Structure 1
Amino acid sequence: MRSKNGAGGRVSFIQAARRRQIIAAAIETVTAVGYGQASLARIAEHADISKSVISYHFANKDDLLEQVVVQVIDDWAAFMKPYLDAETTSAGRLAAYIRSRIAYMRDNQTRLVAVAEIIVNHRAPDGKPVFAERDAVPVADLVATLRAGQQAGEFRAFDPIVLAMTITQAIDGALTYWAEHPGTDLAAYGDELVTLFGLATEKTRGKP
């Protein structure tokens, strides 16, 4: 975070609040007009500030949109953490993982639609997706939960990477389906996924 002086906590607090305001405006602008049309000028207009204010806090549009993704993913992980930490079994953590991810979706649709737009469209100068590695982090955490369940004898033998990717795609699909069918009961959707993947990981009696 930039700071023009060392005035301490109040300046930092004001700057942090301004950055949150700009990030919120960027999210709403990307959702409204799409990634390609979300210029700094449009974001500034939406936030009712000058473009120079954005330039003070962010190096450029790429920096701002990258910070949108970073903040939302970090917030999502922070939201899920207490639900995961409350579970003492891998089966419980798997259920909490699914339900808490979907609960965050329910309360943050606009943010996640914007993040999906940015992740799909944002490219480095060489053309590679900027967020390819970061987007894999939640999958790695889920793989670890599935492996722990196998090692503890809770889950049957399966490829944890394949199943983790399948679970992630199923959860992410809920956001797309919900956008197209706003009346969808996301809690029930999540419960159905918990049942489905509970059966998929279940250790059949007498078999490994």
Structure 2
Amino acid sequence: MSSPDRALAHPRRRQRLDEAQRRKQIIAGCIQVVAEHGYQQASLALIAEVAGVSKGLIWHYYSDRDTLMEQAAVTTVAQLRNRVGADIDLTYYEETYQAQEQLFRRGQAEGSLREFDTRVMAVTYQGAVDAMLGYLESHTDTLSSLLIAPVADRSGASIGCRSAG
């Protein structure tokens, strides 16, 4: 029995859902379609079918495909953050961001820094610091060479390093 014949033989009863539940249903269908068929093949018709709604209902809640896809991406990232973040203590970062924001705002008040979003700058700055620390942790030989080289140059002798000659 084909899908349309099955639908006629066993009509599915629509369930009344509030707006938040309906949006969640549509987003879940969208995520499933993208996961199974890829972004390019994720048509609104296929998403509607998988979500168990009409294509018109998707248009009612989302102005276009891009808006739906964007919301699906935001939902996915939020779910990942909640699942991963539940196991990570992020209070260190929040305290660090707040201290950095305060420092940036003080620089702006003094006139030494131009106007910018201090939160974005704090997160970006901390990301750069974390990347640098991660690099240095994985390249401890480079770090020791960087620290020892100036001392060796000043004393004229190499400290713990073999000379090239």
- TM score, norm. by length of structure 1: 0.39
- TM score, norm. by length of structure 2: 0.48
Bigger Rg, structure 1 or 2 = 2
